[in-house]
Every structure is written in C-alpha cells, then in structure tokens.
C-alpha cells in the first residue's frame, strides 16, 4: 500500500508542476501583450505630439512674422522644433504664406528604418 501512496503523491506533484508552469506561461503572455500595447500607444502619442508641435510653431511663426513658415526645416532652425527623422517623415505643404499649411506626420516602420 505504501507504493500506491507514493505513486499518487508523485502524480499530484507532477500535476502541480504542470499547473504552475502553465500559470507562469500565461502570466508571461499577458505581460508581453501589455508591453506591446503600451509601445503602440506611446508611438501614437509621439506622432500626435510632433503634429501639435509643428502646428503650434507654424501658428507662432505666423503671429510673429506675418506669414507661415516656408518649410519644416525653417521651423527647426528658428522655432526649436525637433523632429526624429529616424522615426517620422514630416510632409509640410504650404499653399501660400497666408494659408495654414497641410501637415502630415507618417511614422517610419522599423523595417524601413533599418535599410
């Protein structure tokens, strides 16, 4: 009878180990999903923050100089706008010096940045 009890104990220990391993894998998966979600949201906020900075600097330039800036480079040189060119492409289309320019921010995909 002792042999049966030991056998049952080993089986229950094995089940416990398997349940613990499964719970650990589940926790790691949930953590990884959360981290990826956070990274995605941070990227979106960075894009929106850059769009607001370029827009704000354009309006400030118009208020000070009486015209919208001719380019994004002008904003970088004269109004302190900083653009991470490794992460974002900025398209700035000014129709006329007295019309608010169209500002488009496109994030660069990681694969494109490596090329």
Q: Tens of pLDDT along 27-54?
A: 777 767 766 666 665 556 788 899 999 9
SS3 103: strand
Query: pLDDT per residue over 69-78, tens digit each?
Result: 999 999 999 9
* Residue 113 pLDDT class (50, 70, 90 cuts): very low
Q: Is the pLDDT of residue 107 over 50?
A: yes
pTM (predicted TM-score): 0.59
Per DSSP, the residues of 54-85 read: HHHHHHHHHHHHSS--S-HHHHHHHH-----T
pLDDT at 58: 93
Tell me the pLDDT of the chain averaged across its residues.
80
């Amino acid at each position: 009878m002792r042999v049966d009890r030991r056998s049952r104990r080993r089986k229950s220990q094995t089940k416990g180990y398997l349940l613990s391993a499964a719970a650990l894998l589940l926790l790691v998966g949930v953590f990884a999903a959360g981290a990826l979600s956070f990274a995605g949201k941070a990227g979106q906020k960075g894009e929106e923050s850059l769009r607001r900075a370029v827009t704000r600097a354009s309006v400030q330039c118009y208020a000070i100089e009486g015209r919208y800036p001719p380019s994004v480079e002008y904003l970088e040189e004269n109004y302190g706008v900083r653009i991470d060119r490794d992460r974002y492409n900025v398209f700035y289309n000014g129709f006329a010096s007295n019309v608010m320019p169209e500002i488009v921010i496109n994030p660069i995909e990681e694969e494109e940045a490596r090329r």
